[in-house]
Structure formats: structure tokens, C-alpha cells
Amino acid sequence: MDTETPPNFRPGTDAFRWDGVAYQPYKQDGEAPFKDISRQTLFHDDALACELRYFEMDDKGYSTLERHEHAHAVMILRGSGQCMVGEEVRDVRQFDLVTIPAWTWHQFRATAGEAFGFLCMVNMTRDRPVLPSEDDLGRMRANPAVAAFLGS
């Protein structure tokens, strides 16, 4: 991340990139728990107690299936797709709001044949995400909607 103070005005582009914001494609290999997702940190400022990030997935991409103590506040910004929060799986689209409470398994998937992007507000100080064990995955898959969402 840039440590320089960004200018007060940072225009966006039609491609959901921003002047002065680093585009960070996630490195991935066969073991990666996510697919075809990028991050742009839109606001990271010592004067603010939260960060605002923008994540975007290509078609068929997905975010990491994870949980943690800290909460997320999400607004879908681009396209549509699906989101799992605990036992709930929903179709979501531009400008919908999603709350991820503490210690709740969650994942976003670009299931609608298009790029799918969302804003995520999160506390600057936060714990590290936890990935599911095989036992956790087995318990999640007991819910048919979750099993269908997670795929094979």
C-alpha cells in the first residue's frame, strides 16, 4: 500500500479502478482458498477507525470462505452474484447491503456470468481470518442451500 497521503479527490474510471489506488490481484495457485479476486484499498487513513476496500471477482471467481471476530459491512457495487452469511445464501446485486456478524462463515461468489464487486468496511484493528477445517465444511454442507453454494 502507498504510504503517501493520497490527494483529496480521486476520480474513478468506468472499469471500477481509481486514480491513486493500487490494484492488487490476489496471488493464487492450486491451493488458494479464493479465485480470480482483486482488492483495492480505497480509504486507509490514521484519522479513520475503519478501512474501505473494494473487492472484485471475475465470472466464476469467489472470495475466501472464512470467519473472524471482526464484522464486515458490505455494499455490492458492481454486477450481481451470490453471498453466503452463516446458513443464509442469497442472490445479491448492485447497491444491496450485507452485514457479516462476528464469527460467521461467509463467502461471495460471481455466479451470474459477470464481474461482481463489493465495498467492504472493516475496523482498522482486527483479528486474522480463520479458514474452515474439514469438520467445519462437513457441518456447513449439512445445509443443502449451503452445499449447493459451495459446490463440489
Q: Identify the residue among 1, 3, 4, 11 touching a second copy (CB under 8 A).
A: 11
- Report the residue number, 6 or 129, with the smaller CB distance to a second copy: 6
Taking the complex as a whole, how short is the minimal distance between the CB of residue 68 and a second copy, in angstroms? 11
Residue 50 is among the residues annotated as catalytic for this protein? no
Best CA proximity match to 15, nearest among 117, 150, 99: 117
- Regarding 95 and contact with a second copy (CB under 8 A), the answer is yes
- Regarding 34 and contact with a second copy (CB under 8 A), the answer is no
- Report the residue number, 23 or 32, with the smaller CB distance to a second copy: 23
> By the 8 A CB rule, do 78 and 17 touch?
no
Q: Give the cell for residue 141.
A: 454442507
- Report the residue number, 12 or 113, with the smaller CB distance to a second copy: 12
Interaction residues for a second copy, span 111-130 (CB under 8 A): 119, 121-125
Assign 145 to helix, strand or coil: helix
Exactly one of 37, 115, 120, 150 is catalytic; which is it?
Answer: 120
String of DSSP letters for 32-90: -SSEEEEEEEEE--TT-SEEEEEEEEEEEEE---BB-SS-EEEEEEESEEEEEETTEEE
* Residues annotated as catalytic (active site), given as ranges: 120
